[in-house]
Amino acid sequence: MADATGEQPQLWGPSIIGFGSFHYRYATGREGDTMKVGFAPRKNALTLYGLQGHAQSNQLLASLGKFTLGKGCVYINRLDDIDLDVLRELIAHAYAEADGSLDSEP
């Protein structure tokens, strides 16, 4: 992710490694700061954040390989299950597109 974003990793909370940041504001007035893209090594899967909802996300995800989607996460069981070149492109695209306009509150 550091290569794809040009950013150094930063710890967000106790277990999420993020790259880049932006300030967001919901229509309700709630606002804050979050990472542009990131990941967390979880027991059941590698969890990737910030890769959905961008102009080419669905097209790139269709070529990624074996994964599952959560509300805002991409879950990968093993890196061998995916195309790492597509993952790099997806990360770079999501990072470039992240601008603070989030669809809905968590």
Residue 42 lies in a domain: yes
Give me the pLDDT at residue 9, please.
Answer: 97
Give me the pLDDT at residue 59, please.
Answer: 95
CB 19 within 8 A of CB 2: yes
Residue 77 lies in a domain: yes
Residue 102 lies in a domain: no
Paired residues of 31 in beta bridges: 25
Alpha-carbon distances of 32 from 21, 26, 71, 100, rounded to whole Å:
10, 9, 19, 9
HSE-CB at 30 with a 13 A cutoff on CA atoms is: 8
Task: Give me the domain span that covers residue 38.
Answer: 2-97
| pLDDT tens track, the chain, 106 positions | 999 999 999 999 999 999 999 888 888 888 989 999 999 999 999 999 999 988 899 999 999 999 999 988 999 999 999 999 999 999 999 999 987 555 544 4
Residue 56 lies in a domain: yes
Residue 72 lies in a domain: yes
Neighbours of 83 (CB within 10 A): 13
- The number of distinct structural domains making up the chain is 1
